[in-house]
Amino acid sequence: MEQGPGAATGGSFISLSENEQRCYSGLYTLCQADSSGKLASSKVGELFRASQLPAETLHQITEVCGAKRLGYFGTGQFYVALKLLAAAQSGLPVRLDSITGDLPLPIFSGAKSEAEMRYPNHSQSSDGQAQPLGSTAGPALRTASDRPAFRQPDNSMDKQEPWSPPRSPCTSPPQSPSTYCRYSVQRNGTEMLVGYEGKPPTRPAVLQENSSPSHYAVKPAPEQPAITRAQSTEKLPDRATDDYSDDPWRITEEQHDYYTNQFKNLQADLGGLIRGTVAKNFFTKSKLPIHELSHIWELSDVDRDGALTFPEFCTAFHLIVARKNGYPLPEKLPPSLRPGPIARGEVTVDSAEITQPLIVFEDTTLRATQQEKSMVEIQQGTPLPGLTTSKQDVKEEARKPELSPKRAPATQEKPVQHVSAFNLKPDPPNELDPNMKSRTRPRSYSSTSIDDAMKKAEEPPTPPPRPQKSHSRASSLDLNKLFQQGSQGIKSGWLPPPPALPPRPPATQIPHFIPAADKSSQKAVQQPNFADFSRFREEEEAGVHPENQNQSPLRRAAGPSTEDLGPPKAEPSVGTQGHAPQKPVRRKYRPESQNLDATPPASAPYPSTPASTPYPSTPTATATTKPAQKLAPRQKREIQTAIRKNKEANAVLTRLNSELQQKLKVVHQERVTLESQLEVLRPLTSS
Amino acid sequence: MTCLCFLCVSRDYDELSSIMAVCIAVIAKENYPLYIRSVPTQNELKFHYTVHTSLDVVEEKISSVGKALADQRELYLGLLYPTEDYKVYGYVTNSKVKFVIVVDSSNTSLRDNEIRSMFRKLHNSFTDVMCNPFYIPGDPIQSKAFDSMVSAMMVQAC
């Protein structure tokens, strides 16, 4: 396709800068020119719309560039139109005169902004004007022979990036490998994150772009991050795809950083495990079919424990990203994704981040610095690949933390981001915020199932089996066990409702009641049998004081629950103010108190020790130290969270209760039938 | 002649190598198949029918011990019933998922231990499938790993 960038509208020679040439030829390919050089009007229309200029302006541009007259967009018209778009976006009138000067590149919906940021720099610096038309035509001819510095390809790639979304279904993925191969060959090891879904046209376009650069006006790296940012999360998974230079299954540094970040959002401890359900929810957002996700899981969970370690998580993520970019899933785990190789140089990076607490914000800033370093590296010629995406990622991450810095259920942010990422829509970052917020909230209460709750627990002492299993014998003892299991899961936030609330010395505890207030309410809620909420309050008060320290919630729970087991026990405990002796079996519920951190460890021993022995020591120790004043503001907040958690737990328990009731009915029926059978048989036996 | 020799050799191979099943099925608790695969694919229906009828025997075996605690019931049920062409072995997990293996009667070198080991492998692979959070219990098993494991156990013949 012969392209004269100069175009011939009105016969005037419009000179294009180098960047412009590159950009335009890339856009040209995007618009699917047919053999005669006419561009698909639909694509052109798309492009124009993406420039976000008013329709009237677009019509004007069409007219001025000559396409209206000709009836189609030829090369020249197209190029002129692009220049006019740039002019219009810069505020110049749509006329041929305005495009003779130096103009920035036209901006197209959202993603182009970085391109523009980049290119203006480039265009100013590069000597675009001097470009003979022929050179641009050359590249346009897709001679992938000239390989300018990889920067240019990157630039062009980035230019292409914004287009990918509108064009995603354009081309078939299978083409990608071939183009990628070409890329890699030409890129001399640059990893081109041309990982948009189904963007073969962009790839050839990129190649084109690369070839076009007879000039090496390269200013790539620093701008990359900015550009990628605009491209936003969707690009992230795409870009972070494949290291085409070597092996599509190798994880690049930037990708690894991104995965690390994601992992942290799901699970603070990089050495810990992401549970199956959590991972499932997370990866489901990638919108891959369940069958493929299942296969990816099989490939990546090498130790078959139903949870993902960090390397496994990286593997799974990488496979998902690869799949989304059109790579077929392998039958076996590729060697580069085996658990061993993952610990490449990124380990150093990770270690730096590992030291960070769960505060994602800090991580992202750290990551940002690393990104900058990597940017520098890129300039030095290291593979670029995921950098842009990672940068985006970082920025996304930064945004997220800003929104909800210390959300313990940070997974919510991640899924939100991933939703946007996987939706392949260049959502502006702001749009993520409401999503995130809305998602995070439901998430905190989302532990509607005991399993979820249990998974959220910081440290379930034993792997909680499914509640139904415990229903096999609906005896009261099992109920306790069941509660125990349930409570382990629910530990994370609420005090299990004790079966009964022994009368507590109210007066003394009233000052401490405030923090306990929510607990008592929770307890009341959770204890369907227990109707006397006043007792709870007292319990709370009594328990709150010592519990405020840390174990109070447990204790409190112990209080009400102990009531079931033995009111007499309550008496002595009253003295200790810590219902300690009443620690009934139910205590197991009490996973958390307002002081969440304190409770899990405290709760751990509790389930195993029905005796109240542990209690007496703790309450006495803490009781004395508890100043009542501390209860007020901070506790209130804690109380509220505890209330929420308790409500959750309450819902869970109610459900359990109903299930158990049903089982009981079934068992009763069985019993009845058996008895009737027995009756029938008895006369026979007796005779 | 050489062909015959070859056949003989392969025959020996079969007997020397691990046990080969003709049909392997995984039945859910509700007695519908989660996974069923047979080697001579032209006669699939016959094997499906065999497995289905064997479920009755399985039920009988597990109900006989049903009075006692489930813990006492062994998972491996042993030979469910022999026919003139093949033998059917059964295995039930604690969650009432049943594995049924149909082996060729002519394969006389089958030992009980080998069958047990086959069931153990099946059970392990099944557990792996269950561990996959994307697998919904009750769905047909589509895991490739499970498939490959089962293929390794099936008769390699024709």
CA angle centred on B90, ends B88 and B95, rounded to 5°: 155
Q: How confident is the model at residue A13 (pLDDT cuts 50, 70, 90)?
A: low
Q: For A216-268, what is each residue's pLDDT tens digit?
A: 444 444 444 444 444 444 444 444 444 444 566 777 888 888 888 888 887 77
Q: How confident is the model at residue A665 (pLDDT cuts 50, 70, 90)?
A: very high
In a domain, A680, yes or no: no
In a domain, B73, yes or no: yes
Q: At which of A33, A64, A90 does a domain end?
A: A90
Q: Which residues of B touch A (CB under 8 A)?
A: 128, 131-136, 142-145
In a domain, B2, yes or no: no
Helix (H, G, I), strand (E, B) or coil at A559: helix
Interface touch B134/A304, C-beta < 8 Å: no
Which range scores top for mean pLDDT: A91-105, A499-513, B75-89? B75-89
CA atoms of A521 and A641, how far apart (whole Å): 12
Q: What is the per-residue pLDDT for A353? A: 41
Q: How many CB atoms lie within 10 A of CB B122?
A: 24
Q: Which residues of A touch B (CB under 8 A)?
A: 276-277, 279-280, 283-284, 290-291, 293-295, 297-298, 301, 304-306, 331
Q: What is the per-residue pLDDT for B144? A: 85
Q: What is the per-residue pLDDT for A283? A: 84
CA distances, A432 to each of A234, A415, A419, A439 (Å): 12, 11, 9, 10
User: How much is the mean pLDDT over chain A?
Assistant: 57
Q: What is the per-residue pLDDT for A327? A: 80
How many Å lie between the alpha carbon of B108 and the closest alpha carbon of chain A?
35
Sequence-separated (6 or more) residues with CB below 8 Å from residue A365 = A398
Domains: count for chain A: 2
Interface touch A298/B132, C-beta < 8 Å: yes
In a domain, B82, yes or no: yes
**From the centroid of its chain, how far is CA A618?**
41
Q: How confident is the model at residue A660 (pLDDT cuts 50, 70, 90)?
A: very high
Interface touch A295/B143, C-beta < 8 Å: yes
Q: What DSSP string runs through A78-95?
A: HHHHHHHHHHHHHT--SS
How many Å lie between the alpha carbon of A292 and the closest alpha carbon of chain B?
9
Q: For A286-303, what is each residue's pLDDT tens digit?
A: 888 888 888 888 888 888
Interface touch B144/A331, C-beta < 8 Å: yes
Sequence-separated (6 or more) residues with CB below 8 Å from residue A392 = A225, A228, A229, A231, A232, A233, A235, A236, A239
Using an 8 Å CB-CB cutoff, list chain A residues near B71.
none
DSSP code, position A586: G
Q: For A623-648, what is each residue's pLDDT tens digit?
A: 454 555 656 888 899 999 999 999 99
Range name among A89-93, A171-175, B132-136 with the lowest pLDDT average: A171-175
Range name among A46-60, A476-490, B110-124 with the lowest pLDDT average: A476-490
Cα atoms in the Cβ-side hemisphere of radius 13 Å centred on A76? 19
Q: What is the per-residue pLDDT for A364? A: 42
Q: What DSSP string runs through A94-119?
A: SSGGGGSS--PPPP-TTTHHHHHHHH
CA atoms of A281 and B39, how far apart (whole Å): 37
Range name among A9-13, A21-25, A479-483 with the lowest pLDDT average: A9-13
Q: What is the per-residue pLDDT for A284? A: 84
Q: What is the per-residue pLDDT for A559? A: 42
Q: What is the per-residue pLDDT for A91? A: 77
Retrieve residue A442's tokens.
Answer: 């439901």
pLDDT of A676 above 80 = yes
Using an 8 Å CB-CB cutoff, list chain B residues near A466.
none
Which range scores top for mean pLDDT: A76-90, A101-115, B52-66? B52-66
Q: What is the per-residue pLDDT for B44? A: 83
pLDDT of A73 above 50 = yes
Domain containing residue A277 = 253-337
Q: How many CB pairs under 8 A join A and B?
A: 37
Of residues A286 and B10, more confidently modeled: A286
Mutate to test the interface with A, among B73, B131, B134 (most CBs of A within 10 A): B134
Q: For A481-494, what is each residue's pLDDT tens digit?
A: 555 555 554 444 44
Closest chain B residue to the Cα of A277, Cα to Cα? B133
Q: What is the per-residue pLDDT for A40? A: 67
Q: What DSSP string runs through A356-413?
A: S-S-HHHHHHHHHHHHHHHHHHHHTT---THHHHHHHHHHHHHHHHHHSTT-TTGGGH
Using an 8 Å CB-CB cutoff, list chain B residues near A330.
none
Q: What is the per-residue pLDDT for A263? A: 82
**Average pLDDT over every residue of A184-195:** 40
Interface touch A298/B128, C-beta < 8 Å: yes
How many Å lie between the alpha carbon of A299 and the closest alpha carbon of chain B?
9
Domain containing residue B148 = 10-154
Nearest to B133 among A295, A297, A304 (CB): A297
CATH code: domain of residue B53: 3.30.450.70
Q: At which of A288, A322, A337 does a domain end?
A: A337
**Average pLDDT over every residue of A338-360:** 45
Q: What is the per-residue pLDDT for A671? A: 95
Q: How many CB atoms lie within 10 A of CB A659?
A: 16
Nearest to A304 among B131, B134, B136 (CB): B131
Q: What is the per-residue pLDDT for A1? A: 44
pLDDT of A556 above 50 = no
How many Å lie between the alpha carbon of A245 and the closest alpha carbon of chain B?
30
Q: Kind and range of the H or E element at A274?
A: strand A274-275
Of residues A440 and A86, more confidently modeled: A86
**Average pLDDT over every residue of B140-158:** 80
Q: What is the per-residue pLDDT for A285? A: 84
Nearest to B134 among A294, A305, A331 (CB): A294
Side chain identity, residue B130: M
Q: What is the per-residue pLDDT for A657? A: 95
| Global pTM value | 0.35
In a domain, B1, yes or no: no
Q: What is the per-residue pLDDT for A481? A: 52
How many Å lie between the alpha carbon of B120 and the closest alpha carbon of chain A?
16
Interface touch B144/A298, C-beta < 8 Å: yes
Q: For A557-614, what is each residue's pLDDT tens digit?
A: 444 444 444 444 444 444 444 444 444 444 444 444 444 444 444 444 444 444 444 4
Q: What percent of chain A has pLDDT over 90?
A: 6
Side chain identity, residue A322: A
Nearest to B134 among A290, A304, A305 (CB): A290
Q: How confident is the model at residue A502 (pLDDT cuts 50, 70, 90)?
A: low
Q: For B77-121, what is each residue's pLDDT tens digit?
A: 888 888 877 889 999 988 889 999 988 877 666 788 888 888 999
Q: Which pairs count as long-range contacts for A568-574, CB under 8 Å and 24+ apart, including other chains?
A: A569/A502, A569/A612, A570/A502, A570/A503, A570/A504, A571/A502, A573/A502, A573/A542, A573/A612, A573/A615, A573/A616, A573/A619, A574/A502, A574/A503, A574/A504, A574/A505, A574/A542
Q: What is the per-residue pLDDT for A103? A: 66
In a domain, A80, yes or no: yes
Q: For A120-143, what is each residue's pLDDT tens digit?
A: 444 444 443 444 444 444 444 444
Q: What is the per-residue pLDDT for A226? A: 42
Q: What is the per-residue pLDDT for A320? A: 85
Q: At which of A337, A366, A387 does a domain end?
A: A337
Three-class secondary structure assignment of A210-229: HHCCCCCCCCHHHHHHHHHH
Q: What is the per-residue pLDDT for A636? A: 92
What residues pair up with B37 in beta bridges, in sequence order? B24
Using an 8 Å CB-CB cutoff, list chain A residues near B63.
none
Domains: count for chain B: 1
Nearest to B133 among A279, A295, A331 (CB): A279
Contact A467, A482 (CB under 8 A): yes
Side chain identity, residue A616: P
Mutate to test the interface with A, among B129, B132, B141 (most CBs of A within 10 A): B132
Nearest to A277 among B128, B133, B143 (CB): B133
Interface touch B142/A291, C-beta < 8 Å: yes
Closest chain B residue to the Cα of A299, Cα to Cα? B145
Contact A646, A518 (CB under 8 A): yes
pLDDT of A655 above 90 = yes
pLDDT of A468 above 80 = no
Interface touch B131/A279, C-beta < 8 Å: no
What residues pair up with A516 in beta bridges, in sequence order? none
For chain A, give the longest Cα–Cα distance: 119
Sequence-separated (6 or more) residues with CB below 8 Å from residue B120 = none
Q: What is the per-residue pLDDT for A382? A: 44
Q: What percent of chain A has pLDDT over 70?
A: 31
For A184-213, b/e burial (b = at least 16 CB within 10 A) is: bebbeebbbbbbbbbbbbbbbbbbbbbbbb
pLDDT of A406 above 90 = no
Q: What is the per-residue pLDDT for A313? A: 84
In a domain, B5, yes or no: no
Of residues A72 and A469, more confidently modeled: A72
Using an 8 Å CB-CB cutoff, list chain A residues near B136.
290
Retrieve residue A11's tokens.
Answer: 């016969």
Q: What is the per-residue pLDDT for A678? A: 92
Q: For A303-314, what is each residue's pLDDT tens digit?
A: 878 788 888 888
Interface touch A279/B128, C-beta < 8 Å: no
pLDDT of A553 above 60 = no
Interface touch B143/A305, C-beta < 8 Å: no
Interface touch B132/A277, C-beta < 8 Å: no
In a domain, B4, yes or no: no
Q: What is the per-residue pLDDT for A466? A: 54
Using an 8 Å CB-CB cutoff, list chain A residues near B125.
none
Using an 8 Å CB-CB cutoff, list chain A residues near B143.
294-295, 298
Side chain identity, residue A414: K
**Average pLDDT over every residue of A368-394:** 44
Q: What is the per-residue pLDDT for A53? A: 77
In a domain, B115, yes or no: yes
Which range scores top for mean pLDDT: A187-196, A570-579, A646-655? A646-655
DSSP code, position A328: P
Q: Kind and range of the H or E element at A201?
A: none
Contact A592, A642 (CB under 8 A): yes
Mutate to test the interface with B, among A292, A304, A455, A671 (most CBs of B within 10 A): A304
Interface touch B142/A331, C-beta < 8 Å: no
Q: What DSSP string runs through chain B?
A: -HHHHHHHHHHHHHHHSS--EEEEEEE-TTS-EEEEEESSGGGHHHHHHHHHHHHHHHHHHHHHTTTS-GGGS-SEEEEEEE-SSEEEEEEE-TTS-EEEEEEETT-TT--HHHHHHHHHHHHHHHHHHHH-TTPPTTSPP--HHHHHHHHHHB----
Q: What is the per-residue pLDDT for B68? A: 58
Retrieve residue A81's tokens.
Answer: 């139109």
